[in-house]
Amino acid sequence: MSLTRRFALAALSATLLPAPAALAQPDPLPSWNQGLGKHTLLAFIARVTREGGPDYVPPAERIAVFDNDGTLWAEQPSYFQFQFALDRTKALAPQNPAWQDRPAFRAIVAGDAKALSALSHKDVQEILAISHAGMTTEAFARTVAEWLATARHPRFGQPYDQLVYQPQLELLAHLRASGFKTFIVSGGGVEFIRVFAEKAYGVPPEQVVGSSVVVKLQMATDGKAELVKQAQVEFVDDGPGKPVGINRFIGRRPIIAFGNSDGDHQMLQWTAAGSGPRLMAILHHTDAIREWAYDRTSQIGRLDKALDEANDRGWTVIDMRRDWKWVFPFQRQVP
Amino acid sequence: MSLTRRFALAALSATLLPAPAALAQPDPLPSWNQGLGKHTLLAFIARVTREGGPDYVPPAERIAVFDNDGTLWAEQPSYFQFQFALDRTKALAPQNPAWQDRPAFRAIVAGDAKALSALSHKDVQEILAISHAGMTTEAFARTVAEWLATARHPRFGQPYDQLVYQPQLELLAHLRASGFKTFIVSGGGVEFIRVFAEKAYGVPPEQVVGSSVVVKLQMATDGKAELVKQAQVEFVDDGPGKPVGINRFIGRRPIIAFGNSDGDHQMLQWTAAGSGPRLMAILHHTDAIREWAYDRTSQIGRLDKALDEANDRGWTVIDMRRDWKWVFPFQRQVP
């Protein structure tokens, strides 16, 4: 710990010394260690919700946006949605014997990690189309739900939707209890995330913004209207797409934005460019023991330019190893 | 009044005879006349919110979608957003002397109704681009707010946002009090509607689905991130686009859909195709005295195929003249 940080913490301890009445309040973020990160979050929320205070923000404008992969749940060793696409393609292979002539599909069926890492852009597009298109929106949601119920993460042996971050679940709940609307703004597929976001995070489908494929209305053989997913990308909610997606879906500039990679950079910049109080936060993956440690050179969730700007502008950088008591719910030690 | 209708009303009066406790409840829809329309709406809401009842719907799934033009506010003698585009173009004409050489722009400046009705598709596209693009999202919202504050409707002499339907305001409020989330799903521009929807209808920006132009992130000269509207249509939220827009923005099939024209037909069909209790309603403009009377042959808000299907399938058709005590708030007679 640097001298500066020790001083800052000592100053915090003094100013945060609770009044007797406050002692009775339970800690809304019990999985966060005491420190600058936790203090910044709690102080900001208190500041914008104090009626009559100079930085009061009315509830209708309390919009908080969170990236998903690497911010609310893990994203290693590969994005979970890509693993879903591989598993789904593998499951469909027996009904598609012609795929055996294709090296990419043989690699998927064999689980050949080296060959998989060398998939061409065209292969990846085709795998995404096979696993995400040519079916109704309801049928797709069912395949995602079945996958979540049966697939297990290679390192932790848990269902993928158990690899959510316990400290972030507490932050989302505290924000909502403080009158915020919490949104997910993800580069991942909107229809993929909506399947589990309500149960996992308490975020309803209408508060998920994400990438999408074209969807078309058609009449089923029984004469009923249905929506069918097409193998054509409609919107990529990543990088500069994130402010565009927020504007399109939410129509209001957030006052809190939380990300973890350069894909969140423009969302953080656009949030920062608004007037009035605002909080930009980045989760830095520094915990190789309990989760993973990666940043500037990672193929997945690269955090480089956004980290520089965070340091330059004093955005809040959360250090996973130092700021979080535990990472996943299943690692939690209840005394 | 037909014999059948008289019998139906007599039956209703009997079944609706309130128990003594119910008499104390204020009527949530005071601007609706007693009749089949009002009864159907109230009975449906009571049915899906009765805990333990066979048709109970949990609050998270209580999604109600409303078209805007002709369903929540008036749309005659032309769509209000088109009038905004004309007024905006006219206001910009003095700074654009070259427009004087163009017949379409001369017609706009002169307010020549006959010439305006003959505008070509290209002219209309250009007027929409001039009035809706080439500025930041914030600047656009300001021009809409200024227009709403100053422009007056040609027939009623009222600001356009006073031409909302009082009975629908009561229905929206009653739905929200009953745990529904109320959404607007409009062929109109999403950024146009969001400017007044919260104040006029109590619908926040994030619950407005509409048509949109492409929006691009750019860095302003002060280094701040901003979003600029482009002269390129991105999404048309009309006809088959309405179920697509609902799926994209809301991610759940509504259980109530309310429209007034063939542009709402597919939204009503897709809502109807879901399982469980659902209500499809159409506002039929039958009131030439207090509002307008139009349907199958109207250039604006044509109601033809959707009316046939409503009659075939027993969807709820609201007859403005018969079902509403008054139309606009300024027509309301408080005893």
Quick check: B305 and B264 in contact, CB under 8 A?
no
Question: Would the CB atoms of A207 and B206 count as touching at under 8 Å?
Answer: yes
| Range of lowest pLDDT (A284-298, B7-21, B62-76) | B7-21
Please determine, for residue B155, whether its predicted confidence score (pLDDT) is greater than 70: yes
- Residue A47: Cβ within 10 Å count: 15
pLDDT for the residue A149 = 98
User: How far is the C-alpha of B281 from the C-alpha of B315, rounded, in Å?
Assistant: 6
**Which residues, including other chains, have CB under 8 Å from residue A273's CB and lie 6 or more apart?**
B224, B225, B226
Please determine, for residue B21, whether its predicted confidence score (pLDDT) is greater than 60: no
> 3-state SS of chain B: helix, strand, coil percent to 5?
50, 20, 35
Chain A, 22-41: which have a CB under 8 Å from a chain B CB?
Answer: none
Question: Per the omega criterion (within 30 degrees of 0), is the bond before B159 cis?
Answer: no
Residues of B in contact with A249 (CB under 8 A): 206, 249
Mean pLDDT of the region A2-21: 48
Question: Would the CB atoms of A227 and B244 count as touching at under 8 Å?
Answer: yes
Q: What is the DSSP string of A63-94?
A: EEEE--BTTTB---SS-HHHHHHHHHHHHHGG
Residue A270 is nearest to which of B191, B194, B217, comparing CB atoms?
B217
Query: What are chain B's domains?
Result: 28-77+162-331 (3.40.50.1000), 80-150 (no CATH)
Please determine, for residue A291, whether its predicted confidence score (pLDDT) is greater than 50: yes
pLDDT for the residue B241 = 97
Cα A110–A111–A116 angle (5° rounding)?
110
Question: Would the CB atoms of B206 and A181 count as touching at under 8 Å?
Answer: yes
The DSSP secondary-structure symbol of B273 reads T
Mean pLDDT of the region B177-183: 98
User: How far is the C-alpha of B176 from the C-alpha of A236, rounded, in Å?
Assistant: 33
Quick check: B133 and B233 in contact, CB under 8 A?
no
Taking phi first (over 0 means left), then psi (-120 to 50 degrees means alpha), and beta for anything else, what does residue A226 get?
Answer: beta
Mean pLDDT of the region A172-194: 98
B227-252 pLDDT, tens digit per residue, is 999 999 999 999 999 999 999 999 99
pLDDT for the residue B125 = 86
pLDDT for the residue A17 = 46
Please determine, for residue A18, whether its predicted confidence score (pLDDT) is greater than 60: no
Question: Would the CB atoms of A273 and B226 count as touching at under 8 Å?
Answer: yes
Tell me whether B309 touches chain A (CB under 8 Å). Answer: no
Residue with tokens 């159409």: B282
Please determine, for residue B151, whether its predicted confidence score (pLDDT) is greater than 50: yes
Mean pLDDT of the region A273-290: 97
pLDDT for the residue B24 = 64
Tell me whether B122 touches chain A (CB under 8 Å). Answer: no
Tell me whether A270 touches chain B (CB under 8 Å). Answer: yes
Tell me whether A204 touches chain B (CB under 8 Å). Answer: yes
Mean pLDDT of the region A167-173: 98
Of chain A, the percentage scoring pLDDT greater than 70 comes to 93
Positive or negative, the Cα torsion across A18, A24, A25, A29?
A: positive
Residue with tokens 């000269």: B221
User: How far is the C-alpha of A155 from the C-alpha of A163, rounded, in Å?
Assistant: 11
Cα B274–B277–B280 angle (5° rounding)?
75
Tell me whether B206 touches chain A (CB under 8 Å). Answer: yes
Q: What is the DSSP string of B182-229?
A: EEEEEEEEHHHHHHHHHHHHS--GGGEEEEEEEEEEEE-TTS-EEEEE
More confident residue, A11 or B48: B48
- Residue A116: Cβ within 10 Å count: 18
**Confidence class for position A24, pLDDT limits 50, 70, 90:** low
User: How far is the C-alpha of B119 from the C-alpha of B104, rounded, in Å?
Assistant: 7
Give the DSSP H or E segment for A285. strand A279-286
**Which residues, including other chains, have CB under 8 Å from residue A270's CB and lie 6 or more apart?**
A242, A243, A246, A253, B217, B225, B226, B227
Give the DSSP H or E segment for A319. strand A316-319
More confident residue, A334 or A266: A266
Residues of A in contact with B181 (CB under 8 A): 206
Please determine, for residue A37, whether its predicted confidence score (pLDDT) is greater than 80: yes
Tell me whether A279 touches chain B (CB under 8 Å). Answer: no
| Range of lowest pLDDT (B121-135, B141-155, B172-186, B309-323) | B121-135
Quick check: A234 and A212 in contact, CB under 8 A?
yes
Short-list B147, B11, B12, B174, CA closest to B85: B147
Please determine, for residue A11, whether its predicted confidence score (pLDDT) is greater than 90: no
Mean pLDDT of the region A110-122: 86
- Give the pair of three-digit tokens for residue A217: 């209305």
Short-list B211, B215, B213, B236, CA closest to B226: B215
Short-list A247, A62, A234, CA closest to B136: A247
Tell me whether B325 touches chain A (CB under 8 Å). Answer: no
Looking at chain B, which residue has its C-alpha nearest residue A242? Answer: B217
A189-242 pLDDT, tens digit per residue, is 999 999 999 999 999 999 999 999 999 999 998 889 999 999 999 999 999 999
> For chain B, what is the mean pLDDT?
92
User: How far is the C-alpha of B104 from the C-alpha of A87, rounded, in Å?
Assistant: 58
Give the DSSP H or E segment for B318. strand B316-319
- Residue A302: Cβ within 10 Å count: 17
Tell me whether A112 touches chain B (CB under 8 Å). Answer: no
Quick check: B316 and B280 in contact, CB under 8 A?
yes
More confident residue, B94 or A334: B94
Looking at chain A, which residue has its C-alpha nearest residue B212? Answer: A248
Q: What is the DSSP string of B30-55?
A: TTBPSSHHHHHHHHHHHHHHSTTSTT
Question: How far B138 CA lies from chain A's nearest CA (Å)?
Answer: 10
Please determine, for residue A299, whether its predicted confidence score (pLDDT) is greater than 50: yes
**Confidence class for position A23, pLDDT limits 50, 70, 90:** low
Cα–Cα separations (whole angstroms), residue B224 to A266, B159, B229: 11, 35, 16
- Residue A329: Cβ within 10 Å count: 14
Question: Would the CB atoms of A266 and B227 count as touching at under 8 Å?
Answer: no
What residues pair up with B217 in beta bridges, in sequence order?
A: B227
Short-list A291, A280, A281, CA closest to A324: A291
- In a mutagenesis test of the A interface, which of B215, B217, B305 is the best target, namely the one with the most A β-carbons within 10 Å? B217
Quick check: A78 and A292 in contact, CB under 8 A?
no
Tell me whether A221 touches chain B (CB under 8 Å). Answer: no
| Range of lowest pLDDT (A26-40, A61-75, A270-284, B85-99) | B85-99
User: How far is the C-alpha of B165 from the C-alpha of A308, rounded, in Å?
Assistant: 53
Of chain B, the percentage scoring pLDDT greater than 90 comes to 81
Question: Would the CB atoms of B250 and A60 count as touching at under 8 Å?
Answer: no
Residue B208 is nearest to which of A204, A251, A266, comparing CB atoms?
A251
Looking at chain B, which residue has its C-alpha nearest residue A243? Answer: B217
Contacts A–B by Cβ distance under 8 A: 88
Question: Would the CB atoms of B273 and A224 count as touching at under 8 Å?
Answer: yes
**Confidence class for position B5, pLDDT limits 50, 70, 90:** low
- Give the pair of three-digit tokens for residue B252: 């759940």
pTM beyond 0.80: the answer is yes
B314-325 pLDDT, tens digit per residue, is 999 999 999 999
Question: Would the CB atoms of A198 and B243 count as touching at under 8 Å?
Answer: no
Tell me whether A175 touches chain B (CB under 8 Å). Answer: no
User: How far is the C-alpha of A175 from the C-alpha of A194, rounded, in Å?
Assistant: 20
pLDDT for the residue A335 = 66
pLDDT for the residue B335 = 66
Tell me whether A207 touches chain B (CB under 8 Å). Answer: yes
Residues recorded for chain A: 335
Please determine, for residue A7, whether its predicted confidence score (pLDDT) is greater than 80: no
User: How far is the C-alpha of B25 from the C-alpha of B17, rounded, in Å?
Assistant: 13
> For chain A, what is the mean pLDDT?
92
Quick check: B132 and B140 in contact, CB under 8 A?
yes
Residues of B in contact with A64 (CB under 8 A): none
**Confidence class for position B223, pLDDT limits 50, 70, 90:** confident
pLDDT for the residue A288 = 98
